[in-house]
Amino acid sequence: MFRLNLKIALRNLWRNRGITSINVGGLAIALAAFILVILYFTYETSFDKTNPNYNNIYVVGRIEPDFKTNYTSPPFAKAIKQHLPEVENAGITKRGFFEFSMKNGKNTLFAKNFMQADYNAAKILDLKPTGGLEKPPGNVERLSYLSKENMRALFPDKTDNKPEIVGMGASNSGITSKINGSITNNLHSNITFDGISIGNEIGKGENYGYNNYTTYIQVKPGTDVANLEQKITDLYRKELLKGETDQKTIAEIKGVSTFLDPLANLHLRPKAGNDAPYKILIALSILGILILVIACINFTNLSIAQATKRAKEVGIKKVMGAYRFQLTAQFLVEIFIQCFVATILGLTLAELSLPYFNNLFQVNLSIWTTENDLCWQLPLILCVITLIAGTYPALVLSGFKPALVLKGNFSTSKQSSWLRNGLLVFQFSIAVIFIIGLFIINSQLKYMRSEDLGFTANQVVYIKNISMFNKPETFAPVRDKILKIPGIKSATVATDIPDGAEGGANGYTFEGVKSSLDFIDVDFDYFETLDIKLKEGRFFSKSFPADTTNGAVVNESTVAKYGMKNPVGKTIRGCNIDYKIVGVVKDFKAQGFESAVKPTIYSIKNPCGNYKTQIMVKIEGNKMSSALAALKAQWLQINPKDGEDFRYEFLDDLYGKLFKKQEQLQSVFFGAALLTIFIAVLGLFAFAKYITNGRIKEIAVRKILGASDIQIFSLINSSFFIMVLIANVISWPLAYVITKRWLETFAYRIDLPILPFISSALITILLTVITVSIQARKAVKANPVDALKYE
């Protein structure tokens, strides 16, 4: 019996190979997209899961009145471990703040991310040097390791794990460092590095004012995290209040709190950070599911539309004694065969599309590995889509009544007709949402690329550097040498460049009001190099020696935050210095478009600031190549510490990376819109063929009675036109809510336009008319005699 049913199934599929190809092809394309989404979702949600203490590790962060941050001070981890028994271990790490070179003969490595960690943090984060994690002995302050990849780059012929000596910085610097071995750098982790130094203790001598470390804690299983969070806040306030007598400061400390952020959150949605990756992942997952649902709907619709061709078969089998559940199982097997073929094709398409997908999302995914769980996910998906796409058609096909179908009544029920139409409307509703979303994403990205940033990144080159120029007199000779090169208009140095990276923050008091401000430590010509606009007052100038000791420039957001009136010449106090405000600059979007411009203070001297290492040079466009070549040739004389290691990036390229996530979303929506439209049109094409074939006699009669081709085209298109119009009306409110919510994630955004909604309606209606008309043309042009000669 099974062989007979299988033979019948294969014959039917072959006889209707056009519809079968559309069914299988549409499902295969949707499955390919869904497989890629599954791979990416699994990858993004499994960061750090190899850590055996994954569920019990938290980052301790601070909540100040104006901001939230993961950065804390070195003594805090020790205090937490000492006073809170729920905490099994506590440690700290610190990121490197500049790129430096390491040398072994002719082999050079540029370490962009050299991290420090104490021994406790290394244990918590499951860091694994080759040979095992060991505590630095008493006479050794730290043990340094390079990632295995970097160790191979510096020592390609190394076969043991013995320590090595490497040169640091320029070849003539004479500075060396001991590398104790290699360490696994887990790229599928939030804690990645080029190298790491592990010490018994880091941050010695630094108090609670040095908030530039990350504190990790490992709690005991079953700990009440909310209760522990409150205990840590109480402990933090207690530590800050030690020896404090000023009532105003005491009141401010009581307004500070802490939070615990699980290790599981850090990659996608950190409490103190940007959750755009999480939103992109959710959007991508929903798109993948919707595309698969649309394909299943397509499959269901076409299977129901083909039901009349199987009516006699069902009637005869029932007369011969077949039960309904047997027929249902038979049709489900047929559908399973199609879904199985679609899955194989989907895997093939996914494999072909994977290089482009990896390049778009900057990942290295692979289908043919046991780590991605596809080995059990795909069979499950196959069974699920078989049930979703096949259950209702199988019930419809097996439900024909023998007495009626054998008399020639092959029509399906009105409920089936309503279902087909409803599913078609649903398909086009989703397609319309994707089209509208794509238009609005394009509009926002166009706005971001064309809107005035408030500064000019073009023709500005960021030079990587390890020298520290905290005093203007140390950078002055470097600037003078740089400016002698033809084509270079200006040069400056600062603690930060406008590339979206977060700067430091500190408390500043203006006229009795204390608030937190971002601070950036700069040198002369900083504003001129970036072409930042002056609103009032002046920039820093060598003509005013006091600028190097207590001069400050603030931005418009700072003026608004304090409610300053005529701020130029007034005093603002921070880091035990009374700064005199010499100028106000217009706000500029250093953080991109998602975050509002932060109140910021710029100064040349800042005892609480960071090191000024970021060199920026503005070069004339037509002399860019020659100026860069001259800088490279003369860099050893210009900046001896860097020596021959001249490295640079264009500032506009760095700033452009802020748009990366939105460009990914744009690509995803473009692909999703094309896929949904393609699948919907495939279904519409086959559905229109079925409807048209069912009305051939009606069309013939109408032609005999004098109906024109235009009238018949209009008649056939009218029902589909109404369905697509209904789909637009249903989808517009949903699209409006979704796109409005997305736009609200930007501090600077376009107003929601009406044109995408109109365009989506025109596109879907035009596609529908063309698709249906192509199918209707054959019936319209047919000779009425051929359709009616047997009547």
Structure tokens at 360: 């778009």
Task: Collapse the DSSP code of 444 into the 3-class scheme (helix H, G, I; strand E, B; otherwise coil) and give the result.
Answer: helix
Helical (H) or strand (E) element with 545: none
CA distance linking residue 88 with residue 80, whole number of Å = 10
pLDDT at 55: 93
Q: What is the pLDDT averaged over residues 352-357?
A: 89
Q: What is the pLDDT of residues 670-713, one digit of tens each?
A: 887 888 888 778 777 767 776 776 677 777 777 777 777 778 77
Residue 483 has pLDDT above 90, yes or no: yes
pLDDT band for position 393 (cuts 50, 70, 90): low
Poorest-confidence range of 69-78, 155-164, 475-484, 669-678?
669-678
Q: For 112-139, what is each residue's pLDDT tens digit?
A: 888 999 999 999 999 989 888 888 887 7
pLDDT of 408 > 70? The answer is no
Q: With a cut of 90, say whether residue 68 has pLDDT above it.
A: no
pLDDT the model gives residue 377: 78
Mean pLDDT across the chain: 84
Other Cβ atoms less than 10 A from the Cβ of 312: the count is 15
Given a contact cutoff of 8 angstroms between Cβ atoms, the answer to whether 130 and 143 are in contact is: no
- Coil, helix or strand for 108? strand
Choice between 214 and 703, residue whose per-residue pLDDT is larger: 214
Could you read off the pLDDT of 592-612 as tens digits, one per residue? Answer: 888 889 999 999 999 888 889
pLDDT at 284 over 50: yes
Q: Using alpha carbons, select from 317, 281, 288 the residue that is nearest to residue 35.
A: 288
Element (H, E) at 627: helix 624-638
Threshold 0.85, pTM exceeds: no
Residues 656 and 773: their CA atoms lie apart, in Å, by 45
Average pLDDT over residues 567-584: 93
Question: By C-alpha distance, which of 257, 231, 218 is closest to 59?
Answer: 218
Q: How many CB atoms lie within 10 A of CB 113?
A: 14
Residue 342 or 305, more confident = 342
Q: 240: which DSSP letter?
A: H
- Mapped onto helix, strand or coil, the DSSP state of residue 675 is helix
Q: What is the pLDDT of residue 409?
A: 47
N-term to C-term CA, the chain: 39
pLDDT 10s digits, 229-251: 999 999 999 988 887 777 777 88
Confidence of residue 319 (pLDDT cuts 50, 70, 90): low
Domain spans, the chain = 1-44+272-412, 54-224+258-265, 466-641
List the beta bridge partners of residue 516: 507
Q: Does the pLDDT of residue 519 top 80, yes or no?
A: yes
Secondary structure tally for the chain: helices H, strands E: 24, 25
CA distance 145 to 130: 9
Answer with the residue of higher pLDDT: 789 or 291: 291
749: Cβ contacts below 8 Å, ≥ 6 apart:
444, 447, 593, 743
Question: So what's the pLDDT on residue 537?
Answer: 94
Q: 571-574 and 577-585 as β-strands: parallel, antiparallel, unpaired? A: antiparallel
Token readout for 397 is: 């096909």
**pLDDT surpasses 50 at 308:** yes
Name the token pair of 755: 């044109």
What is the per-residue pLDDT for 230?
94
If you search the block for the tokens 């048209």, which residue do you land on?
Answer: 692
The CA distance from 712 to 519, in Å, is: 72
Q: Which of 493, 531, 483, 529 is nearest to 627 (CA)?
A: 483
What tokens does 60 get? 């301790």
Q: Please, what is the Cα angle at 307 between 304 and 313, to 5 degrees?
A: 150
Higher pLDDT pick, 766 / 305? 766
